[in-house]
Amino acid sequence: MSYIPQVDTDAMMASANAGMAQIRAGLDEKRALTKEAKLSCDHCKKHETSVSPLQACSRCRSVRYCSRGCQLAHYKMTHKEDCANFASPPLCRAFNTTICLSGCSYPETPIFALGVSQGMGAWVSKAGSIHCRLATLPGGRKNLDRNDPLTMLMMTPGMARGKYLSLRVLVQNRSPKAKPMVVIGTGIVAFASAKGTPIILEGKEPGEPSTMFGPLLGLAQVDAQITYFNGKSLEKKEAKSCPAVKDAAACAVLLNVGEHAIFNVEFRAGGPRITHDFQALELLQHVVVPCIPYDHKASGPYLELLMQAADRNEVCEVRAVLDQVAVDAWYKDYKTKGESAYISGHYGEARARMMGEGNKVLGGDAEGDGEYGRYEYKLKRVQQLRQYSLHPFLVCLRMVQFSAARDSLRTF
């Protein structure tokens, strides 16, 4: 019988509790900072009062003013150009690019790409897990059989080599003519660079469609979700009942001027040499978000309407080019100091300890073994725990529950 190292459950539970406490504190801090940003005039810095509430710019919703005079003065100084060029995304807690939580050195939402076309703008950021490994299942837990604990364990860091890159895309309508537009989330495409195309093709799945555009590969989208509309969270059921969602299956959402939506999209980008988010991002060139003019008389699936609009040359393609300098800066700690240092600097020391303790249960350290993690050892470890020792296995399940709660808290 193989030797099973003793699990320090007290240390693991203590680190998990501390990590969860830091998450809750961070959520409270994020709410407070976002609220504070909404309560001061962007021109004179005067704070909002119950008598004189601030008014947001109706086009960008990223700035607020206490009076018509302040709005005009700020517009002439800088905001006319900033608003048209999509200098800042709309101010909302779900996609705040300026908040840096206590104990962290980086803002919570990095911007890796920005594209603007015909009054439509798209910002691209990271999604996925805090340990930077590509997802092992498309769609994550929403497609997971929650009654299968071994499947849940295989989703934990280092348990399997991931293949799926998760991105968050915020799209906003700032059309100068106030033209309503429909964004088709399932039509979002990521393009590999000429250098990255052959590397990504190494991990091509059997039957996976691959479309070449000259030397560039269009990555196959494996999952798409509308997660927020105008800052309000949309769960799967809510998305179907939201009036702005015109086709839930196609993730098609109607945006009037000033309105915005956030999409989570996943692409098969992993392969023999690509197992981490930053490795996949370094091989991408740009992301294209398709938008079409809204026609209230149109009917039918929106993917078909998108093709019809393309035939009429009516598709607005928002092309967001990856800023590889920004990608490198965001992941520098991981590449130079390791996973634990990255999590500590981006999400806090307590969360780094929580991840480290959970990893120990599976017989590995926080850094894994090189870039790919100790997959074979950890798989054997799970099999041993399941066969010989019920108590440590339940501890593993408890760790997954903490992980699930941690990630769900991050969505608010």
Query: What 3-state DSSP class applies to 28?
Result: helix
Task: Give the pLDDT of residue 161.
Answer: 76
Q: What's the CA angle centered on 32, arms 120 and 35, to 5 degrees?
A: 45
Report pLDDT for 228: 95
Q: Which two tokens stand for residue 134?
A: 């590509």
pLDDT of residue 80: 96
Tokens for 371?
Answer: 């870039």
Least Cα distance to 124 among 257, 250, 262 occurs for: 262
10-residue block means of pLDDT along the chain (412 residues)? 51 58 59 62 87 90 94 96 96 87 86 98 93 84 55 54 93 95 96 96 88 89 94 79 93 97 96 95 97 90 93 96 97 93 86 66 46 47 48 42 43 34
Distance (Å, whole) CA 334 – CA 328: 10
- In single-letter form, the type of residue at position 286 comes to H
The domain segmentation of the chain, as residue ranges, is: 1-20+111-412, 39-88
Per-residue model confidence (pLDDT) at position 366: 40
Nearest to 110 by CA among 90, 95, 122: 95
| Separation CA 358–CA 353 (nearest Å) | 9
| pLDDT recorded at residue 309 | 93
**HSE-CB for 376 with a 13 A CA cutoff:** 1
